[in-house]
């Protein structure tokens, strides 16, 4: 149950509405390479425009560390947004100050202004109250629609909510609704697939999931810490030495809790981390000492696909191998294809798994692709997200 006030609960006509969105899109040479996050915010923006609000959009882009960085301006995002909306978007070069206030004062109902990258100010990530008040000055109402940044307690995601009425946007509600429902009352069998490289970030998730899922599938770089915990040599594969004991305890806990923990039976190993590396498929207990595991093996991939096809709810976060390189893409592709055909409800937890389903052209077969990687992980871990906690209660 979502107990926070929504933009549907308030009157926005004629109001100056500060909307925090997550326009943190990948860019290459000044070009947006994936506009999913812009498109995901459109329903909120459209509804506000149609209701006669003055729409002031704010976002971060990248990690400029509190300084102006020409490559991290939101100019290209503003241009693209105007094209998608088929409507002018006034992109400003600042996010606070007199010039911004003057532009906002000139807005007509239904107009859209896009502020500059809020992380050009040091106070943003420090959640500085003075900066939050500068943002609040611009607005009669605050809407947080930045699900991807909801796990950050920053001036434009959390601080501002102390100084102006604060409600959630449509994307935020949809993300919380889908992820919240899936986790609070899951259809079973419920399967979670955790892969990728960030052992530290994901170990907490694994622990939390052991209380919720029927099947836990582990792959990617982080699986080798588990393989090591099982007593096998892993050669030069990725290892988080200080997490071996924890991995052992998870294997024990999974048994005790009746969770089926699925681990690789084979792996694709390489003599170096390169797209041109020599490769071979080996049993998981036979990784040669000078080689590294860069993908799950074909038998493992098939096993995982079977579990996915027999599940009613599947959440996937993190690739099964170094899928960016052809030779190590099979595990991730096999999982993506199984996600595409399963009758279960499929959720992709942002980040590289979202990129993978795009790459393997099955994105349109997924039931929900979250716009937040870190945010959906923290939600799965059962953590409260500061950007949501800060909103007004219903």
Ligand X SMILES: O=C(OP(=O)(O)O)[C@H](O)COP(=O)(O)O
Q: Does position 351 bind ligand X by CB under 6 A?
A: yes
Which of 64, 186, 319, 344 contacts ligand ADP by CB under 6 A? Answer: 319
- What's the CA gap between 366 and 284, in Å, rounded? 30
Applying CB under 6 A, among 24, 44, 157, 237 the residue interacting with ligand X is: 24
- The number of residues that bind ligand ADP (CB under 6 A) is 18
Active site residue 174: no
Question: 297 contacts which partner out of ligand X, ligand ADP, none, CB within 5 to 8 A by kind?
Answer: none
Question: What residues contact residue 242 under an 8 Å CB cut-off, 6+ apart?
Answer: none
Polymer length in residues for the chain: 394
294 binds, among ligand ADP, ligand X, none (CB under 5 to 8 A by kind): ligand ADP
**Could you give the CA distance from residue 265 to residue 283 in angstroms, rounded to a whole number?**
6
Q: 148 catalytic, yes or no?
A: no
Task: Give, for 261, the enclosing helix (H) or strand (E).
Answer: strand 260-262
**Strand, coil or helix: what is 314?**
strand
* 82 in contact with ligand ADP (CB under 6 A): no
Residue with tokens 């030779």: 327
Binding to ligand ADP (CB under 6 A) within 284-313 occurs at: 293-294
Q: Is the peptide bond before 322 cis (omega within 30 degrees of 0)?
A: no
- 148 interacts with, out of ligand X, ligand ADP, none, CB within 5 to 8 A per kind: ligand X
Verify cis geometry, omega within 30 degrees of 0, for the bond prior to 258: no
Among 24, 44, 59, 317, binds ligand ADP (CB under 6 A): 317
27 CB-side CA count, 13 A:
19
Instruction: Write down the catalytic residue from 349, 351, 372, 373.
Output: 351
Instruction: Confirm or reject binding of residue 350 to ligand X (CB under 6 A).
Output: yes
Which run of H or E residues covers position 301?
helix 298-309
Pull the structure tokens for residue 85: 């909306």
User: Mapping DSSP to helix (H, G, I), strand (E, B) and coil, where does residue 306 land?
Assistant: helix
The piece of 89-97, 125-133, 196-204, 363-371 that touches ligand ADP (CB under 6 A) is 196-204
Residues 166/189, Cβ–Cβ less than 8 Å: no
Q: Which 355-394 positions form the footprint of ligand X (CB under 6 A)?
A: 372-374
Active-site annotation holder among 5, 137, 181, 198: 198
Annotated ligand binding at 350? The verdict is: yes
Active site residue 351: yes
Please report how close the Cβ of residue 22 comes to ligand X at its closest, in angstroms.
5
C-beta of residue 171 within 8 angstroms of C-beta of residue 145: yes
Of residues 186 and 220, the one with the C-beta less far from ligand ADP: 220
Check if 39 is active-site.
no
Among all chains, which residue has been given the structure tokens 């909801």? Answer: 150
Catalytic residues: 37, 198, 351, 374
User: Residues in the site for ligand X, rule: CB under 6 A?
Assistant: 22, 24, 63, 148-149, 152, 350-351, 372-374
């Amino acid at each position: 149950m979502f107990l926070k006030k929504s933009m549907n609960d308030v009157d926005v006509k004629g109001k100056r509405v500060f909307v925090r969105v997550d326009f943190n899109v990948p860019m290459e040479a000044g070009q947006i390479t994936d506009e999913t996050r812009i498109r995901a915010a459109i329903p909120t923006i459209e509804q506000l425009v149609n209701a006669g609000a003055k729409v002031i959009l704010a976002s971060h882009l990248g990690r400029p560390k509190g300084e102006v960085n020409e490559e991290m301006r939101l100019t290209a995002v503003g241009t693209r947004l105007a094209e998608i909306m088929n409507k002018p978007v006034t992109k400003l070069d600042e996010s606070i100050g007199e010039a911004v206030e003057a532009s906002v004062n000139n807005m007509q109902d239904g107009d859209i202004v896009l502020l500059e990258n809020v992380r050009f100010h040091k106070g943003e990530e420090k959640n500085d109250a003075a900066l939050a008040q500068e943002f609040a000055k611009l607005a009669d109402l605050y809407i947080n629609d930045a699900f991807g940044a909801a796990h950050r307690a920053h001036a434009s995601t959390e601080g501002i909510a102390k100084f102006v009425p604060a409600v959630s946007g449509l994307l935020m509600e949809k993300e919380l609704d889908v992820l919240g429902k899936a986790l609070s009352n899951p259809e079973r069998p419920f399967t979670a697939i955790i892969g990728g490289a960030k052992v530290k970030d994901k170990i907490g998730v694994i622990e939390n999931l052991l209380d919720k899922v029927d099947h836990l599938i582990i792959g990617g770089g982080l699986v080798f810490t588990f393989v090591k915990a099982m007593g096998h040599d892993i050669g030069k594969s990725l290892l988080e030495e200080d997490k071996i004991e924890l991995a052992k305890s998870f294997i024990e806990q999974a048994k005790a809790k009746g969770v089926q923990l699925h681990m690789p039976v084979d792996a694709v190993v390489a003599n170096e981390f390169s797209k041109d590396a020599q490769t071979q498929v080996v049993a998981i207990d036979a990784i040669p000492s000078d080689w590294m595991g860069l993908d799950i093996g074909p038998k493992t991939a098939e096993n995982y696909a079977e579990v996915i096809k027999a599940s009613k709810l599947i959440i996937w976060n993190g690739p099964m191998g170094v899928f960016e390189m052809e030779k190590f893409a099979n595990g991730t592709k096999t999982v993506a294809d199984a996600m595409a055909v399963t009758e279960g409800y499929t959720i992709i937890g942002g980040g590289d798994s979202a990129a993978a389903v795009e790459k393997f052209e099955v994105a349109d077969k997924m039931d929900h692709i979250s716009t937040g990687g870190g945010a959906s992980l923290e939600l799965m871990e059962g953590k409260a997200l500061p950007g949501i906690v800060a909103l007004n209660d219903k």
